[in-house]
Amino acid sequence: MMQMKTVGVVTTGGDAPGMNAAIRAVTRVATAKSLQVLGFERGWEGLLTNTFRHLTPRGVGGIIQLGGTMLHTARCPEFKTEEGLQKAVHTLNLNKIDGLVVIGGDGSFRGALDLSKRCETKMIGIPATIDNDVYGTDETIGFDTTVNTAVTEIDKIRDTAISHERIFIVEVMGRQRGFLALTVGLTVGAEIILVPEDHCELSEVVETLKENSRKGKKAGIVVAAEGCGKVIEIAQVIEEETGSEVRLSILGYAQRGGSPTARSRLLAILFAEKAVNLLCEGQGNRAVGLRNGEVTSIALEESTSGTKPLNKNLLKLADMLAT
Ligand code: ADP
């Protein structure tokens, strides 16, 4: 078995709270195992341009509580081309990178898989995205933080909704998937949750809100994932059909940042330890994750080919609870 000497670490795709905690833990666990750690900057761009810094245990001090990523991140379309991939391979070979820890979402994992087919460097994916949409893990780094941020905001909105007996539509992130909208909707006690995975006719939404009003519940919170259509149009229809005043709140980027919760940090720490351990055992091209409370790993290939199911029973439960 080849002796691991140098590992690279990179954060790619959208930033997520807890990425810094993961960088810190990868660096310190790897250093404890006598490995050298190089942190590539601005996502895949750092691999294309050979831009990195040496990460030391001291150098990653004071970042565990910070949102975002100290290594920066960027979308990198060139990385999707053969030429771009070859540049990255060149950088990995030039710096004798034995293992690369890729912290990001499913797009990042697809990139890591593409790269793994062209070089000897062993790839390990650490799932970090506020969307929680990575197959093979029950939860991703950052998800819990974003859920809590959104819940805190919507609790405030509910005060106004109840006082003014108004309906509020709150848009949360999630262009393709509704994990965030579902968890946030359930935990704020939303009257209606709209997710991209479960098409809901607007007429049904209107009917539910009218029924609520008849029962004396005039205020309402509709939590909608970004991918469910234009919330402004949904708001207009609800206003016209129900005759109630409807207000709109788009939570936007405020959901993405901020100090990671203890849970996001803990996941980051446990995933990082697992990633470094896998590399030291000579394993590569795997994605770490949490399954039924245990830190595990699956092949990157499997992680990138699967689609994580949304628990639609929870939507039914949310309906039952919103009476
Ligand atoms: P996330 O990792 O959060 O899902 P993206 O989907 O933007 O974020 O992916 C991050 C980066 O990974 C992209 O900028 C791109 O360079 C690379 N990437 C995404 N999808 C692929 C793919 N199918 N093949 C190769 N590289 C990809």
* CA 165 / ligand 1 centre spacing (Å): 43
**Distance (Å) from CA 108 to ligand 1 centroid:** 4
Closest ligand 1 atom to residue 16 Cα is 3
Residues enclosing ligand 1, CB less than 6 A? 12-14, 44, 75-76, 79-80, 104-108, 110-111, 114, 129
- CA-nearest residue for atom 12, ligand 1, is 108
- CA of 152 from ligand 1 middle (Å) equals 30
Residue with tokens 């009218």: 210
Cα distances (Å, whole numbers) of residue 319 to 98, 188, 231, 300, 316: 50, 13, 20, 36, 5
Domains and CATH numbers, the chain: 6-142+260-305 (3.40.50.450), 144-256 (3.40.50.460)
Nearest CA to ligand 1 atom 9: 107
Q: What is the pLDDT of residue 1?
A: 63
Task: Pick from 69, 73, 79, 301 the residue to mutate for probing ligand 1's pocket: most ligand atoms within 8 Å of its CB.
Answer: 79
- Look at ligand 1, atom 26, and give the residue with the nearest C-alpha: 111
pLDDT value of residue 2: 72
3-state per-residue secondary structure call for the chain: CCCCCEEEEEECCCCCCCHHHHHHHHHHHHHHCCCEEEEECCCHHHHHCCCEEEECCCCCCCCCCCCCCCCCCCCCHHHHCHHHHHHHHHHHHHCCCCEEEEEECHHHHHHHHHHHCCCCCEEEEEEECCCCCCCCCCCCECHHHHHHHHHHHHHHHHHHHHHHCCEEEEEECCCCCCHHHHHHHHHHCCCEEECCCCCCCHHHHHHHHHHHHHCCCCCEEEEEEHHHCCHHHHHHHHHHHHCCCEEEEECHHHHCCCCCCHHHHHHHHHHHHHHHHHHHCCCCCEEEEEECCEEEEEEHHHHHHCCCCCCHHHHHHHHHHCC
Q: For residue 238, give both structure tokens.
A: 């609800």
Q: Which of 47, 80, 100 to mutate to test the pocket of ligand 1 (most atoms within 8 A of CB)?
A: 80
C-alpha angle with apex 1: 31 to 267, nearest 5 degrees?
A: 40
Ligand 1: which of 87, 110, 133, 143 to mutate, judged by most atoms within 8 Å of the beta carbon? 110
Task: Say if residues 242 and 211 touch (Cβ distance below 8 Å).
Answer: no
Nearest-atom index, ligand 1, CA of 114 = 25
Among 106, 131, 133, 144, the one annotated catalytic: 131
Q: What are the average pLDDT values for consecutive 10-residue runs of the chain, which has 323 residues? A: 90 97 99 98 98 98 98 96 98 98 98 98 98 98 98 98 96 98 98 95 95 94 96 94 94 96 98 98 98 98 98 95 89
pLDDT recorded at residue 123: 98
Residue nearest to atom 10 of ligand 1 (CA): 13
pLDDT at 147: 98
Give the per-residue pLDDT at 3.
87
How far is 35 from 31, CA to CA, in rounded Å? 5
Residue 323: predicted pLDDT: 83
| Catalytic-residue membership of 159 | no
